[in-house]
Amino acid sequence: MADIERFSALVGDIYDASLDPGLWPTVFEQVCEYARGAAVHLNTHDCARKTSNNFFSWGGNPNFSRLYFEKYAKLNPMFPSLIFYNVEELHQLVDFMPREEVCASRFGREWLRPQGYVDDLSCVIDKSATSCAVLTVVRHISVGFVDDEMRRCMALLVPHIRRAVLIGKVIDLHKVEAAALADTLDTLASSLFLADANGRIVHANTSGHAQLAQGDVLRVSGGRLIALDPEANKALHGVFTTSADGDTALGRKGIAVPLKSRDGGRYVAHALPLTAGARRKAGTSYAAVAAVFVRKAELDTPSPLEAVTQTFRLTPAELRVLIAIVEIGGVPEVAPVLGIAEATVKAHLRSVYDKTGAKRQADLVKLVAGYTNPLLIQPKTSG
């Protein structure tokens, strides 16, 4: 019972952070306690621009955090492969590179080992064709490697964290007072609806009223919010019903309910429960169990690197070697950068040649360039 109450309180704090971003570090501290992690980071990685940025974090050494974004993010073995995985899928660092290679790499020797980090568990929270937002919980040597209990804990938390992050992205405000949610968001560009457990609209902002007036995505019937698409409508009202039972009951439901307009346009609805935490005041004031944010979907084309990986069935290690060969040069130049032996680079490279049918390095450059990869700015073709 104590564990259930602890989990429920943590989920409530996660949703409160969607309205007040300043709460994320405290929430991440609780995540560390719950999953026995040493640090939590929510970062973005742009594989095209080779840049990384920090959203929120807790527990990391400030100096090493600075070095990560200045130097070591580019050497992280998880990228670019992680961007190709489904959102919410949990992965360890060793899923992308064997542990012995991780330890031998510069990333392992110079960034992980000095901090006493031995493992991590990561997942994509949101992504586009070339970038992704990644949640990472790091394990310290004093606790040990990622285990089944850590995976269980994070599997429970990740859907709620993802929903809260996406809602915060939609709101795009520094801070919103939960008690005055409807009034504060009346000028929000995204449509906002506050609804009760039966889906009855108790408040809509200006954008919401305009969308209902158009009637091409949502409409009102008997005072209830109705999605034109029957399946979407069923999912949306399932969220309303579940929200009445509290934050934890929502689980994986309604993280991003897809909506379709009459002309085929794509929209997405995100639901924020209003039955607990600081949000309870807003829910009580408006007799609402959930706030629903609706915006036009941002459709992204598949990543060129993802297309290469899927077409030729490359492993994460093979993809890293392929990119390094194209961008850096020959095997002698690539090996020290990746922190692995030349023989290991050659082994992965032979596999890449076999799978792609390429005969030499110049062929690989042409192959990747053929997929219009934005990473190829000044490819080197020696060897």
Tens digits of per-residue pLDDT, 320-330?
888 888 878 88
Report pLDDT for 105: 87
pLDDT band at 302 (very low <50, low <70, confident <90, very high): low
What mean pLDDT do residues 296-317 have? 76
pTM: 0.75
The DSSP line for 16-52 is: HHHH-GGGHHHHHHHHHHHHT-SEEEEEEEETTTTEE
Query: What mean pLDDT, rounded, does the chain reach?
Result: 85
Provide CATH code, domain 304-369: 1.10.10.10
Residue 339 pLDDT > 90: no
Q: What is the pLDDT of residues 266-284, one digit of tens each?
A: 888 888 888 888 787 777 7
Beta-carbon contacts of residue 375 (< 8 Å; ≥ 6 apart): 47, 48, 50, 305, 323, 326, 327, 368
Q: What is the pLDDT of residues 20-77, one digit of tens each?
A: 888 999 999 999 999 999 999 999 888 767 778 898 999 999 999 999 999 898 888 8
Which residue, 334, 336, 377, is CA-closest to 352?
334
pLDDT band at 8 (very low <50, low <70, confident <90, very high): confident
User: What span, in angstroms and rounded, lies between the C-alpha atoms of 34 and 311?
Assistant: 40
Q: What is the pLDDT of residues 214-233, one digit of tens each?
A: 999 999 999 999 999 999 99
Report pLDDT for 82: 86
Residue 250 pLDDT > 70: yes
Report pLDDT for 146: 97
pLDDT band at 187 (very low <50, low <70, confident <90, very high): low
- Domain 2-171 belongs to what topology? Beta-Lactamase (3.30.450)
For the domain made up of 178-296, the CATH class stated in words is: alpha beta
Do 203 and 302 touch, CB atoms closer than 8 A?
no
Do 31 and 137 touch, CB atoms closer than 8 A?
yes
Lowest mean pLDDT among 25-39, 127-141, 289-303: 289-303
Which residue, 191, 212, 327, is CA-closest to 268?
191
User: What span, in angstroms and rounded, lies between the C-alpha atoms of 93 and 134?
Assistant: 13
Indicate the domain borders of the chain. 2-171, 178-296, 304-369
Lowest mean pLDDT among 65-69, 177-181, 204-208, 222-226: 177-181
What mean pLDDT do residues 202-216 have? 92
**Would 178-296 and 304-369 be classified into the same CATH topology?**
no
